[in-house]
Structure 1
Amino acid sequence: MSKRNYLLSLMMLAASVTANAQVISFSMDAEEAGKNTPEGWTEVNLPQDLPAFTEANTFYITSFGASSASADNTAAIQAALDAANEAGGGMVVVPAGEWLFGRITVSSKTVLHLCANATLKLLAYSDQPDHITKVPYITGKSNASDIVIEGESKETSIIEGQGGPWWDAVENKESGLQRGSIIRFHQGQRYLFRNFRIQNAPGTNLTLGQSGTGAHNTVHDISIYAPSSSASDPSHNTDGIPVWAPYANIYNCDIDTGDDNIVTDSNAHHIHVWNCDFKAGHGASLGSYTIDMHHIIYENLTFDGTDCGFRLKSNTDRSGDVHDIIFRNCAMTNVATPIQITAWYDKVPNDPATAAASPETKKSTTPEYHNILIQNVTATGYNTKNSNDKNYNGIMIYGRPESYVYDVTFDNVQIAHRNGVRLFFCKDIKFINGCTFTKTRTNQTVEATDQNLSSVMENLYEATYTWHNVTSGISNLTMPQRLHQSDTYYNLQGGQQKSRPTRKGLYIHNRKIIIIR
């Protein structure tokens, strides 16, 4: 059959089966009212020019042959989506029931609606045509824009990924294995995702954009679940919502997964995330790809048992100027690493002095982190002893000798953690407005009235900070040779004495920072 005749027959079928289709109520008024655009930012655009939905352009997948008893409903679902496209836009409805499917593509001005108690279920691993295709399962046709994927609640409208065998294949290092995201639109713009649940994805769940395209995304009331990466039967790289394009609003989401809960990557800027609950996962992340990444706000989040809270990570082959980042009004419970900022993704030096001895040449892709605000944050409850405690700290900032992290402000931040603070290759780190830190391993607390962080400092190297208007630390440890193997102790204000100090604080002795408690 020719393409023209196929389309004509499709239209005739659509006309015959939609005469009595129940029309689903549809509105974006709440999204318009709740955009929450920060001052000075470009407003995130919602899908526009969608048609009014009537019986004529509402298409139930069952009218195109989909059956809950079918082993594969991909063709039927795609036929319904194609009918919506031929109608100039429309709504495709997935009714209550379980519907097995493979990869489908959505055209512009289409709403894909999952009814309450509807489950779109990916074909089983053994029934997939191949395991080396990274194409998303739900994606857009070329340049498709103004698309809505929605359910009726994040408890009862479900996309099931059947990911277990995929995670086993990762563990077994299956050759050529590729895992497409459950949902990813990246050639057009203006997408809305709301009121459904994704669970057990083979890989990433809801990915926004790609290489800067696919801008203007709104995501709210989405629930995402996969087993933790530390579970006995873990998922692998099941990031909740990765963001690779500018202009996004993400709010009222619950994410409990095996990798980053929400993560911004290269080309993500003007991203606002708020009112979300994170359980297992790697927290509110930025990177590891951080080219053209700036103006990001994470706020009003709760973390319960995540590996990390706020985590900025990258390396010298994938970064650049990263700035204007805000993390505020958040509460963490039992979080292994509440605050981590590192420019050494996956290869943190064992000894910062070794890194200082051979700095790299700074280039356009070298991480340069600055203008970061961490405000009104609490972290409590983590007391677990780990085999490598230096990787689990209340605060870790690890810049590079050729590119310091700078201008990071902690404003009213209270952290209680088994381990203390580590600062390497950073400057202008400010603690203001009632910040406190408790190292529970040694039951030591630093209050706002104290002079510095020395009693909770695990390690400090080429770093300066201000603790409530008192400057401490040292910006350069390249000391004169006469200090080598000397009995002299130098304080951080330049004073010196021959005997071991009795006053608490940080000192330089034999070219090393020591702490007198």
Structure 2
Amino acid sequence: MLTRCSPFLQNNKDYYLKKKMSKRNYLLSLMMLAASVTANAQVISFSMDAEEAGKNTPEGWTEVNLPQDLPAFTEANTFYITSFGASSASADNTAAIQAALDAANEAGGGMVVVPAGEWLFGRITVSSKTVLHLCANATLKLLAYSDQPDHITKVPYITGKSNASDIVIEGESKETSIIEGQGGPWWDAVENKESGLQRGSIIRFHQGQRYLFRNFRIQNAPGTNLTLGQSGTGAHNTVHDISIYAPSSSASDPSHNTDGIPVWAPYANIYNCDIDTGDDNIVTDSNAHHIHVWNCDFKAGHGASLGSYTIDMHHIIYENLTFDGTDCGFRLKSNTDRSGDVHDIIFRNCAMTNVATPIQITAWYDKVPNDPATAAASPETKKSTTPEYHNILIQNVTATGYNTKNSNDKNYNGIMIYGRPESYVYDVTFDNVQIAHRNGVRLFFCKDIKFINGCTFTKTRTNQTVEATDQNLSSVMENLYEATYTWHNVTSGISNLTMPQRLHQSDTYYNLQGGQQKSRPTRKGLYIHNRKIIIIR
């Protein structure tokens, strides 16, 4: 009979496989144990038809591959962790869970079942062609901080054996199948700057390929939650219907570096996820390309992020997302030691409410210059790891509701693009974007920034609105330096401007057409005065 697992339908025999057994005896014991405990194992229904039908591959992209060649699941290759000695009363079920996973490996692939109940565990490794299934009301709970063997190991808690591929980690719903990280003491250790502290991701597979993660919840992770790949390996990931929670970075007892889903490998589909955490909700990093994220809800966190490591990053789509109280919306960030050619990025069909920084594109992740003129005076030599951002589309996006004044208010803007004097951001299109935010727009070291198809911007601090029919963004522009943009086919801004020395401490004002006058202008607009661009309102 194929069914979901019942809470206590299990062969709860008192087996315990000792760690000091020889490998041969251990494997023989596993084979004998597996044969004895699977005779009445309840088989769990399994299918990937919905994932196959829902791939949603963008035109021209390589399709994300699902796990392949999994065995048919029968009583003979279904292994309940309780049959290997796991007990909800045990202080540590790591050995029992690992024994069940090893039995699945010896069977040539199989399903390991975690029944309803709470199961304390440490680090476990999964082999190829294995499904790890959490029943409804099952909680895999990491050993407490004080019970961990050490605090300096960054190995993930759930990971693959060498070159393990075609693996599924699944639950029965993102509300009732839970992995609990007990992260509180780890976050305290970060705040206390504990020497040598390392925090492994809850889940990370990176040596093989083709992984599926679905229908479970991760909460209170010590560090990152579900990390996809590493340095370009571990490709072809499908993630859906995952819930992730950790306290926000601004909470009274915050979590630290609890990124929801960091992506470090190509080819991934991520959809129908709810993420409320203390760092990036979803973030693509180096070697992430052809990554498609859709239909996700973000609450606390740093938003739909790219970087700070952005080497070989391209063809990323974030779409149909909601943001509620998120620190950032779309955020592309990097620096000159970790980037390169970043292109073909799409952020579309998204709604933001009370988001502190809706759109931020910055090539200054280390430290934003206090004055762009200082940066312009001493540009760095462009190199292979200098950020070069281009071909970015931001389309059908709304942002409303953020009116909070901050001590460093200039860092919280409706739109900020901050390139570098040696490497401008270019070819960024805002298509039907409506933003209402306390602060306005800042553009530095960028060109070919286009606003089209009904874009509007309201700066709520001064109650000023720029409509599609207006000439430019000057009434909501906070600052503009070596930047050009087109507002509904009207070009504004200044690019590659050479300032003669005689302007220093001069009373002369220059308009954008090169005209000059010796006193402060009375007409509204953008002017150059003493090597700075100013706005007359």
TM-score between the two structures when normalised by the length of structure 1? 0.99
Asked if structure 2 preserves the Cα contact closer than 8 Å seen for 1:477 and 1:511, the reply is no
CA distance in 1, matches of 2:498, 2:247: 47
CA distance in 1, matches of 2:320, 2:348: 7
1:77-226 map, 5 Å: 77-226=97-246
CA distance in 1, matches of 2:517, 2:147: 75
CA distance in 2, matches of 1:477, 1:513: 11
Q: 3-state DSSP class of the match of 2:43?
A: coil
Shift of residue 499, structure 1, vs aligned partner: 4.0
Shift of residue 500, structure 1, vs aligned partner: 3.2
Shift of residue 62, structure 1, vs aligned partner: 0.3
Shift of residue 346, structure 1, vs aligned partner: 2.9
CA distance in 1, matches of 2:403, 2:512: 31
CA distance in 1, matches of 2:226, 2:129: 19
Q: Which residue of 2 aligns with 1:306?
A: 326
CA distance in 1, matches of 2:422, 2:80: 59
Q: Which residue of 2 aligns with 1:493?
A: 513
Q: Could you give the per-residue CA deviations for residues 144-168 of structure 1, whole angstroms, max 9, x where no partner exists?
A: 0000000000000000000000000
Shift of residue 318, structure 1, vs aligned partner: 0.3
Asked if structure 1 preserves the Cα contact closer than 8 Å seen for 2:373 and 2:532, the reply is no
Q: Which residue of 2 aligns with 1:387?
A: 407
Task: Pick which of 87-96 and 342-351 moved more.
Answer: 342-351
Asked if structure 2 preserves the Cα contact closer than 8 Å seen for 1:61 and 1:77, the reply is yes
Q: Could you give the per-residue CA deviations for residues 346-392 of structure 1, whole angstroms, max 9, x where no partner exists?
A: 31111111111111000000000000000000000000000010110
Q: 2:435 aligns with which of 415, 426, 434?
A: 415
Q: Could you give the per-residue CA deviations for residues 81-105 of structure 1, whole angstroms, max 9, x where no partner exists?
A: 0000000000000000000000000
CA distance in 2, matches of 1:481, 1:263: 44
2:350 aligned with 1:326 = no
Q: Could you give the per-residue CA deviations for residues 208-227 of structure 1, whole angstroms, max 9, x where no partner exists?
A: 00000000000000000000
Shift of residue 15, structure 1, vs aligned partner: 0.8
Q: 3-state DSSP class of the match of 1:291?
A: coil
CA distance in 2, matches of 1:461, 1:258: 33
Q: Could you give the per-residue CA deviations for residues 69-90 of structure 1, whole angstroms, max 9, x where no partner exists?
A: 0000000000000000000000
Q: 3-state DSSP class of the match of 1:429?
A: strand
Asked if structure 2 preserves the Cα contact closer than 8 Å seen for 1:221 and 1:253, the reply is yes
CA distance in 2, matches of 1:279, 1:153: 20
Shift of residue 491, structure 1, vs aligned partner: 1.6
Asked if structure 1 preserves the Cα contact closer than 8 Å seen for 2:327 and 2:356, the reply is yes
Name the % identity: 100
Q: 2:522 aligns with which of 495, 502, 515?
A: 502
Q: 3-state DSSP class of the match of 2:236?
A: strand
Q: 3-state DSSP class of the match of 1:189?
A: coil
Q: Could you give the per-residue CA deviations for residues 274-295 of structure 1, whole angstroms, max 9, x where no partner exists?
A: 0000000000000000000000
Shift of residue 457, structure 1, vs aligned partner: 0.7
Q: Could you give the per-residue CA deviations for residues 414-453 of structure 1, whole angstroms, max 9, x where no partner exists?
A: 0000001111111111111100010000000011111111
CA distance in 2, matches of 1:292, 1:487: 48
Structure 1 gap ranges (5+): none
Task: Pick which of 189-198 and 487-496 moved more.
Answer: 487-496
Asked if structure 2 preserves the Cα contact closer than 8 Å seen for 1:396 and 1:421, the reply is yes
Asked if structure 2 preserves the Cα contact closer than 8 Å seen for 1:189 and 1:215, the reply is yes
CA distance in 1, matches of 2:502, 2:253: 57
TM-score between the two structures when normalised by the length of structure 2? 0.95
CA distance in 1, matches of 2:157, 2:527: 58
Shift of residue 514, structure 1, vs aligned partner: 1.4
Task: Pick which of 106-115 and 342-351 moved more.
Answer: 342-351
Shift of residue 406, structure 1, vs aligned partner: 0.5
Q: Which residue of 1 aligns with 2:35?
A: 15
The alignment yields a C-alpha RMSD, in angstroms, of 0.8
CA distance in 2, matches of 1:393, 1:329: 20
Structure 2 gap ranges (5+): 1-20
Asked if structure 2 preserves the Cα contact closer than 8 Å seen for 1:464 and 1:475, the reply is yes
Across the two proteins, how many residue pairs are aligned to each other? 517
CA distance in 1, matches of 2:253, 2:79: 39
Asked if structure 2 preserves the Cα contact closer than 8 Å seen for 1:461 and 1:477, the reply is no
Asked if structure 1 preserves the Cα contact closer than 8 Å seen for 2:481 and 2:494, the reply is yes
Shift of residue 4, structure 1, vs aligned partner: 1.9
Q: Which residue of 1 aligns with 2:88?
A: 68
